[in-house]
Amino acid sequence: MPNLVTANDRVNDFVIKFANVNGTGSASANSLIMKAIFRMGVPVTGKNYFPSNIQGLPTWYEIRVTREAYAARAGRIDIMVAMNAETYSKDVREVASGGFLIFDSTWPRSALLQRGDITVIGVPLAQMVNENFDGVRNRILLKNIAYAGVIAALIDLDLGIIDAMMKESYGKKPKLLDSNTKALRLGYDHAKQHLACPLPLRVEKLDKTVGHIMIDGNTAAGLGCVYAGATVGAWYPITPSTSLMDAFKSFCERYRVDAETGERNFAVIQAEDELAAIGMVLGASWNGARAFTPTSGPGISLMNEFLGLAYYAEVPCVIFDVQRVGPSTGMPTRTQQSDIMLCAYASHGDTRHVLLFPANPEECFYMAVQAFDLAERLQTPVFVMSDLDIGMNDWMCRDLKWDDAYRPDRGKMLSAEELADLDKFYRYVDRDDDAITYRTLPGVNPKGAYFTRGSGHNQWGAYTEDSAEYQVVLDRLKRKFSTAARYVPKPEIIGQGDSKIGIVSIGSCDGAVREAIDVLARQKIAVDYMRIKAFPFGHDVETFLSLHATLFVVEQNRDAQLRSLLTLETAVDKSKLKSILSYSGFPMSCDPIVDGIRATLPDAPRLSAVTGKGAARVGEPHVIHQ
């Protein structure tokens, strides 16, 4: 039994990180631990850091146990389960002082014992599974379940809950259930017999997960597309968005197949590239289907030409941009918010596009529905700006709700009867003075026919190279974008408005910002917070910006893209905006926000949220732009 380094008891407030080799089946064991904690009523999040290859490179999975239900990355590691010899030296450095490192002691690793401020726990995992199971691949898989058993004992998980989960997974496969249960017990019993259980870091049952689910953003968005009435999805596979289309297809196969005839009432098309994918979406949308494509930054780059066509010809469509690290190929399996400017002004010429910024998977579901309604109401492309952290990681979200009275907002679409009553239909005439014109669908009535073009056209729908006629259409499109500000989701504002300091942010930064606000409040520093949910920016955004003397713009990219967009599209004084940037590719923690704000306050020492030290986290560089 190892000597324990002194550690304070922390119940339901610690971080476990699993260091594995990609492709060894560790995901099932790691998920088992996370879901068991969730079922014990304790809030939890799961972050997966994996390589962009199929098998063989290092992968990590981070579980944050958080009684306060914080959604951000913690910025510290309390328990490291080091299962990859290639990353031992890196993994041991990450453990916080007073923490614990668990490794497979079948092969002694003396280098692991060099830190005197942590407790190193060796468990002969490979030896145990080799003595009890046959087959190389089988032993590799079951060693993961064995370490899950060790962790279950060390942090005091309810073994009955884990047993029930395994029966749910393997109940119809008795041999798998037996082998996995045996491996779990091997690890659990060894820990109970040879180690001090539980550790000072442990789980106790709460009731804070009632009314919540664990879900990732891509699954939630795919489900939202089904509920929105989408019937066509076209895409080219790209990390990290592919699982969104996988989820949509899976839900459609369950809910969009006629029970009597077996007819599939949906179409999922894998295109030869992203340009073809958006072209298919535009064709389907022009014909009246609700259609979408999921992609990431490189795909948006390829789609630019057709996005300009959709904007100018006013064809509705929805694009899910699950953002990743760029530029170029970048790091496909790391997260960033670096497509903001790319999407806001996608395509050549004068264009502006509607952007929605979900903060978590719950909002991915609801904003998927809003995106289709906005696209058809405004007759324009709408981007849902998710990212890898939201899209592929495990989040605790409130139960998704649905109003069965919902009906899709198809916008200004003329019926056959309405067309019959018209003397003449003109596609781009602004009859209601709101810059949104009426549209028709092919085949409804011959009077509704018109020539859809991306070349110069006038309000009557005819080709033109007349400057005045061209400007009438382009000016109306500008007014339509202003009209859109009335329809997009309003920002969420926290605070009484009496602080001189404000935080402005978007998307997945929300969890880190909320935690930072709590940390600052405990240090007697009050700040207001505005989370922008959409572009174009409305009156509420302008008001918040005008009321605060100093505004910290928190985002995950190098070039302060949200700050740039605010400068371009609002009346804010640029000198009031200070950027706090995190662009390491890892999800943001609250530390750079707390440090960044304190660094600007007179006579305030720079204080980290967790350690009290001034340095930024390893792996999370941040920049403050004055």
Domains located in the chain, CATH noted? 10-202 (3.40.920.10), 215-398 (3.40.50.970), 416-484 (no CATH), 492-625 (3.40.50.920)
Between CA 304 and CA 293 the distance in angstroms is 13
Tens-digit pLDDT profile for residues 226-277: 999 999 999 999 999 999 999 999 999 999 999 999 999 999 999 999 999 9
pLDDT of residue 603: 59
Q: Please, are residues 365 and 390 in contact by the beta-carbon 8 Å criterion?
A: no
Degrees (nearest 5) of the Cα angle 136, 137, 138?
90
- C-beta atoms surrounding 526 within 10 Å: 13
Contacts of residue 131, Cβ cutoff 8 Å, sequence gap at least 6: none
Backbone angles phi, psi at 323, to 5 degrees: -70, 145
pLDDT of residue 618: 44
590: which DSSP letter? S
Q: 291 forms bridges with which residues in the sheet?
A: 232
pLDDT of residue 610: 41
Between CA 464 and CA 470 the distance in angstroms is 7
pLDDT of residue 55: 67
Assigned token pair, 626: 């004055």
**Pick from 277, 223, 212: which is nearest to 246 by CA?**
223
Contacts of residue 207, Cβ cutoff 8 Å, sequence gap at least 6: 41
Contacts of residue 110, Cβ cutoff 8 Å, sequence gap at least 6: none
Between CA 236 and CA 224 the distance in angstroms is 20
- C-beta atoms surrounding 370 within 10 Å: 23
Considering the entire predicted model, what is its pTM? 0.94
609: which DSSP letter? T
- C-beta atoms surrounding 133 within 10 Å: 18
| Three-state secondary-structure class, residue 385 | strand
Between CA 176 and CA 352 the distance in angstroms is 54
- Amino acid sitting at position 28: S
With 0-12 / 13-18 / 19 or more C-beta atoms within 10 angstroms meaning exposed / middle / buried, residue 45 is buried
State the 10-residue block means of pLDDT for the chain, 626 residues long. Answer: 66 97 90 98 96 82 97 96 92 95 88 81 96 94 96 98 94 92 97 96 98 98 98 97 98 95 96 98 97 98 97 98 96 97 97 98 98 98 98 98 97 96 95 96 94 91 95 98 97 89 98 97 95 98 96 98 98 97 97 94 54 42 53
Contacts of residue 387, Cβ cutoff 8 Å, sequence gap at least 6: 322, 323, 324, 335, 336, 337, 507, 508, 556
Q: How many helices (H) and strands (E) does the chain have?
A: 19, 23
Between CA 269 and CA 467 the distance in angstroms is 40
- C-beta atoms surrounding 304 within 10 Å: 18
